[in-house]
Amino acid sequence: MRICSFLPSATEIVCELGLVDSLVGVSEECRWPSSVVAKPVVTAARIDPSSLSSLEIDEAVRSSLSDGRSLYTVDAELIEALSPDLIVTQDLCAVCAVSSGELASACPVGAEVVALDPRTFGDVADSVRLLAAKVGAVDRGEELAARMMDTAARVAAAVRELPPARVFFAEWLEPVFCAGHWLPEMIQLAGGVDVIGKPGRPSHATTWETVFALEPELVVVGPCGFGADEAADRARDIEWPCPAVAVDGNGYYSRPAPRLADGVRQLAHLFHPGAVPDPGLPAIRLGAGVGARA
C-alpha cells in the first residue's frame, strides 16, 4: 500500500504500525520519527511560525481563515505522481492540517481519503485502530491502542487517592488559549483538574488575568507546534504568580498519537512527583526557576 499523510500524528501512527516504507508522501510538519524527514513533501503551511511572534501567528491564522484561504499548499502534481492508495488527513482543526474538503482537486482517482478527527483520549486510541484497519495492520493497531490506554490507566491508578492538582494548560500564549479536546482528560488521568478547559471541548481564548484569578497550583506551557525550549522562550516575558513549566506540546500533547500516553506520565510526575517517576521528557521550569530542568 502507498500512503500519503497530511497529518503529523497519522505519520507517527503509520510508523508505529511498522509501515514507514509505505509512506510515499508527508506534510512539511511531519518530522518524527526521523525516518520520515527525507520523504517527499506534499503539503506545507503558508505561514512560517519560526519568524513570527505568537500574536503575529494568531493574527495571520485568523486573517487567512476569515478570508476563506487555506493555511496550507497542496502539491497536486506530486501527489498524482506518487500514486497513493490512501491519503490521511483531518477535519478537526483548520489550523493543524489540510482538511478532507480541500482535496477535491488534489486527490488522484482511486485514492481513498481517511480523516482522523479524535476529540477525546479514547478517540485517539480508536483512530489508531481505524488507521491500522485501513492499512491491514489490525493486530498491531490493537496492540498500540491497548498499550496507550493501559499506560494512562496505570498512571491514573497511581494518583487516584491523591488530592487533585489545580492546573492550567496553555495551548497558546498570545492570546492565551486553554486546553481542549483530549488534553483536559489527560490532566484528569494524571491526577489534576483543569481550571478552565473541559474534556472533549475545543480549546478557546481566555486571558492571563482570568487564569491567575482561578489560582492554579501549576501552569503548564505547551503551545501547539512548539517544543519545550521554544515554549519557554515565548513565555519569557510572562510574570508568573505560581509555578510554571514549559513542555514539548508538539510531541506529547497537541498531536493525537500514542505518545499522548507519555504526556499523561509527565503530567502526573509534575503534579505528584512522589507517586509517579519522571519519564524524562523535556521540561523547563519558568518564572523564578527559568532554565532549570524539571
- Least confidently predicted of 18-27, 67-76, 79-88, 94-103: 94-103
Kindly state the average pLDDT of the residues 47-68. Answer: 59
User: pLDDT value at position 94?
Assistant: 47
Residue owning grid cell 509505505:
22
Q: What is the pLDDT of residues 19-53, one digit of tens each?
A: 999 999 999 889 999 999 999 999 876 666 666 56
| Chain centre distance of CA 192 | 19
- 8 Å CB contact between 179 and 194: yes
Q: What is the pTM of this model?
A: 0.88
Cis peptide before 33 (omega within 30 of 0): yes
Cα 285-291-294 angle, rounded to 5 deg: 40
Domains and CATH numbers, the chain: 3-117 (3.40.50.1980), 161-289 (3.40.50.1980)
Q: What is the pLDDT of residues 238-261, one digit of tens each?
A: 999 999 999 999 999 999 999 999
- Report how far residue 129's alpha carbon sits from residue 137's, in angstroms, rounded to the nearest whole number: 9
- The count of other CB atoms within 10 Å of the CB of residue 9 is 28
Cα 138-32-173 angle, rounded to 5 deg: 115
Question: For residue 137, what pLDDT band results from cuts at 50, 70 and 90?
Answer: very high
More confident residue, 100 or 14: 14
- Report how far residue 141's alpha carbon sits from residue 88's, in angstroms, rounded to the nearest whole number: 16
- The count of other CB atoms within 10 Å of the CB of residue 21 is 9
- Report how far residue 224's alpha carbon sits from residue 231's, in angstroms, rounded to the nearest whole number: 9
| Chain centre distance of CA 213 | 27
Instruction: Identify the CA nearest to 216 among candidates 164, 166, 267, 288.
Output: 166
- The count of other CB atoms within 10 Å of the CB of residue 280 is 10
| Secondary structure in 3-state letters for 158-200 | HHCCCCCEEEEEECEECCEECCCCCHHHHHHHCCEEECCCCCC
- Report how far residue 151's alpha carbon sits from residue 268's, in angstroms, rounded to the nearest whole number: 12
- Report how far residue 159's alpha carbon sits from residue 269's, in angstroms, rounded to the nearest whole number: 10
Kindly state the average pLDDT of the residues 135-155. Answer: 98
